[in-house]
């Protein structure tokens, strides 16, 4: 089974589906949005998780085609909710650095917004730092165009890799997602807790919102609240879930 060769067939056969992980406001415990995480529902191989095919797609460059397809799936989901009379919830989509650098990215998004007739404000985009580090001017311009349409930009996995606090001040972003590696140890590692506090305070001072990733227990959540973190994602609230299960969570009262 050659993953690299099969990806295109997967798109043609509409085998990629989105699962969704809620983002939760720490003060109100309300869902404020969801992150789309792709899965490949392969006819013969069953459900394939992104760690098996995203790195390969990154390597071959097919990730540009795949992420465009996924953006369209997210917009179609918003359209479906509107058509069914539901209040749409914001969906964030992970976008590869390669797609951010591709000229066709913004025209593609515009065409999808046009064909699905959705409000760009219902979509957010998650980028990683490496995406903005090379070719800064080009990427900053792309991010500013997206923000001018009302799309929120989230900096994913902050703290992993080459993160720099000073670098936050120039990036045209709206929210910082603090990587799970910091959250994992905040309850019993003073250094990590101090770094977490510094990231939260610095982000807040720069008018950026903060979200902590990978929250797995109540002790972590209580500590994050003490540190003035505004929102979180993690198994404590919910794992990524299918569309059916997400709808049970967000539209349960209807």
129 is in the binding site of which of Na ion, ligand G, Mn ion, none (Cβ under 5 to 8 A by kind)? none
Site residues for Mn ion, 118-157, by CB under 5 A, read 156-157
Query: What does the buried/exposed string (b/e) look like for 169-197 if buried means 16 or more CB atoms within 10 Å of the residue's CB?
Result: eebbbbbbbbbbebbbebeeeeebbebbb
Element (H, E) at 210: strand 209-212
DSSP 93: E
Q: Which residues pair with 24 in a beta bridge?
A: 31, 232
For residues 165, 169, 172 and 175, what is the CA-based torsion angle, rounded to 10 degrees? Answer: 50
Question: From the list 24, 34, 38, 125, which residue makes contact with ligand G (rule: CB under 6 A)?
Answer: 38
Q: Measured from the CB of residue 111, what is the shortest distance to ligand G in angstroms? A: 19
| Closest to 177 in 3D by CA, of 161, 149, 154, 208 | 154
156 binds Na ion (CB under 5 A): yes
Q: What is the footprint of Mn ion within residues 154-173 (CB under 5 A)?
A: 156-157
Question: x/- site string to Mn ion, residues 56 to 85, per CB under 5 A?
Answer: ------------------------------
Nearest to ligand G of 96, 124 (CB atom):
96
Q: Which residue ranges make up the site for ligand G (CB under 6 A)?
A: 21, 37-38, 49-51, 54, 63, 67, 70, 94, 96, 156-157, 213-216, 233-235, 240
């Amino acid at each position: 089974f050659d993953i690299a060769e099969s990806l295109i067939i997967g798109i043609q056969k509409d085998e990629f589906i989105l699962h969704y992980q809620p983002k939760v406001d720490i003060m109100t415990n309300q869902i404020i949005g969801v992150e789309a995480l792709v899965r490949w529902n392969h006819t013969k191989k069953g459900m394939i998780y992104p760690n098996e095919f995203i790195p390969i797609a990154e390597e071959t460059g097919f990730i540009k085609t795949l992420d465009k397809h996924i953006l369209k799936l997210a917009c179609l989901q918003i359209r479906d909710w509107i058509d069914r009379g539901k209040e749409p919830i914001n969906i964030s989509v992970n976008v590869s650095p390669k797609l951010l650098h591709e000229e066709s990215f913004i025209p593609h998004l515009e065409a999808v917004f046009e064909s699905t007739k959705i409000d760009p404000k219902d979509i957010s985009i998650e980028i990683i730092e490496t995406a903005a580090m090379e070719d800064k001017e080009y990427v900053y311009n792309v991010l500013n165009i997206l923000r001018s349409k009302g799309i929120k930009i989230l900096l994913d996995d902050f703290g992993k890799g080459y993160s720099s606090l000073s670098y936050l001040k120039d990036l045209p972003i709206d929210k910082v997602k603090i990587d799970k590696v910091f959250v994992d140890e905040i309850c019993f590692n003073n250094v990590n807790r101090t770094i977490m506090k510094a990231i939260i305070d610095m982000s807040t001072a720069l008018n950026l919102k903060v979200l902590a990733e990978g929250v797995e227990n109540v002790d972590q959540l209580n500590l994050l609240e003490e540190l003035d973190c505004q929102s979180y994602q993690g198994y404590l609230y919910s794992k990524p879930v299918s569309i059916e299960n997400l709808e049970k969570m967000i539209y349960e009262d209807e």
